[in-house]
Amino acid sequence: MKKSDIKPKRISVSGKRQITIPLEFCKALNIENEVECIMKDNSIIIRPIVDTSQDNFADFILEDLIKEGYKGQKLLEEFKKRKAEIRYAIENVKNETSKVAEDEAQYSVIEEVLKEEKISAKKKE
């Protein structure tokens, strides 16, 4: 189900001011253990936490490299190169989330942002 297909839901607030995020929202946004909560104007924005540590991206990088057919020493060299470039992808994620918070862009999942970064990196080569 696409994010755009999910209808708004009315949810209750408990006596302790707690809410339960509908399961389909969590699945669509890959929400796991924590979310970020931002108050903007007269609204509350709840979005998944994006972990910006480079180690968490290692799995994504390796998975892509293996799919692309890298092996042995070439795999190691390309992994090191892409890991060094991850800072730029992280900056893109930060910029993207800021745009979403300001209603200047639609929400993207991390995989989409990294895919865009990968495409633009290949164009530079």
1-17 pLDDT tens trace: 566 678 889 999 999 99
Q: Say how many C-beta atoms besides its own lie within 10 A of residue 86's C-beta.
A: 20
Cα distances (Å, whole numbers) of residue 70 to 66, 67, 119: 5, 8, 18
What band does 123 get if pLDDT is binned at 50, 70 and 90?
Answer: low
Kindly state the tokens that stand for 106.
């639609």
Gyration radius of the chain's alpha carbons: 18
Provide mean pLDDT across the span 48-59: 69
Do the Cβ atoms of 85 and 121 come closer than 8 Å? yes
Do the Cβ atoms of 107 and 29 come closer than 8 Å? yes
Mean pLDDT, rounded, of the chain: 79
pLDDT in tens, 61-95: 889 999 999 999 999 999 988 888 877 777 777 77
